[in-house]
Amino acid sequence: MLLAVDVGNTNVTCGVFAEADLVHTFRLRSSRERTVDECAVSLHQMLALRGVAARDLSAAIVASVVPALTETFARAIDATLVQRPLVVGAPGFDLGLVIACDNPAEVGADRIVNAVAALARCPGGALVVDLGTATTIDCVSPRGEFLGGVIAPGVEVGLQALVGRTAKLPPVPLTPPPAALGRNTRHAMQAGSVYGHAALVDGLLSRLQAELDFEAEVIGTGGLAPAIAPHTTRLRSLDPDLTLSGLRVLFEKNRGAV
């Protein structure tokens, strides 16, 4: 079995693959203060809850956008579960893409992994919408090029900032109001957050498609995608496990380096 670990800014998403099948998933908090031992215990416990023992794992791969946790999780896996995991972006790691950006080194590992998964699924090219702590839209071409994309504040980040920077606006749940025309403060804030973010996604997708020389398929992922996608006109295909799938593809491409 393969353990795939995606270290994000809010959560650490983990998946266990049996060959090409994703058989288990779980999440941990991305606490930057975690020690190697704490990470090891958490991984062991979450795997044990799903009936997976350390001996059942044959390899692991890690992608991380939190530098403080990258080595922590790599060492935790190496010490207690399987041999040293592959780390996306490490020297000699084959990304399977040409990073056609001004500064390839600054592109987050999660964006690259999503693009790898999207290209495997959509060889004609794709736009990947990842709705999480940040909202990103990234483009991968039919030629296997990561062309770049868009980074915007995530919908929850924007809502939290709005509440934190105002004196009278209360916290509200991220659910759609009855109509875009809010008749009270709660509904007005929900309309701005849910419908406003959906409009942002649609508008950016239209602009990006107009700049491309191919018709891109659109794929959505990320923890907040189910809250926003139903209110867009262009985001209809969702894959909550897209990043984990990309990690499996990259592991297969780099398994000889294990």
Per residue in 73-110, pLDDT (tens digit) is 999 999 888 788 999 998 889 998 999 999 998 999 99
Radius of gyration over every alpha carbon of the chain, rounded to an integer in angstroms: 19
Is 110 catalytic? The answer is: yes
Per residue in 121-136, pLDDT (tens digit) is 999 999 999 999 999 9
Residue 257 binned pLDDT confidence (cut-offs 50, 70, 90): low
Q: Report the residue count for the chain.
A: 258
Token pair listed for 160: 């939290």
Per residue in 193-231, pLDDT (tens digit) is 999 999 999 999 999 999 999 999 999 999 999 999 999
Instruction: Give CA torsion, residues 60, 64, 67, 69, to 10 deg.
Output: -50
Q: Which domains does the chain have, with CATH numbers?
A: 2-87 (3.30.420.40), 98-242 (3.30.420.40)
Per residue in 2-52, pLDDT (tens digit) is 999 999 988 999 999 999 999 999 999 988 888 999 999 999 999 999 999
Q: Is the pLDDT of residue 255 over 90?
A: no
pLDDT reported for residue 258: 52
Dihedral of CA 250/129/34/71: which sign? positive
Q: What is the mean pLDDT of residues 135-141?
A: 97
Distance CA 175, CA 81 (A): 40
Per-residue H/E/C for the chain: CEEEEEECCCEEEEEEEECCEEEEEEEEECCCCCCHHHHHHHHHHHHHHCCCCHHHCCEEEEEECCHHHHHHHHHHHHHHCCCCCEECCCCCCCCCCEECCCCHHHCCHHHHHHHHHHHHHCCCCEEEEEECCEEEEEEECCCCEEEEEEEEECHHHHHHHHHHCCCCCCCCCCCCCCCCCCCCHHHHHHHHHHHHHHHHHHHHHHHHHHHCCCCCEEEEECCCHHHHHHHCCCCCCECCCHHHHHHHHHHHHHHHHC
What amino acid is encoded at 92 in this protein? G
| From 56, 78, 110, 239, the catalytic residue | 110
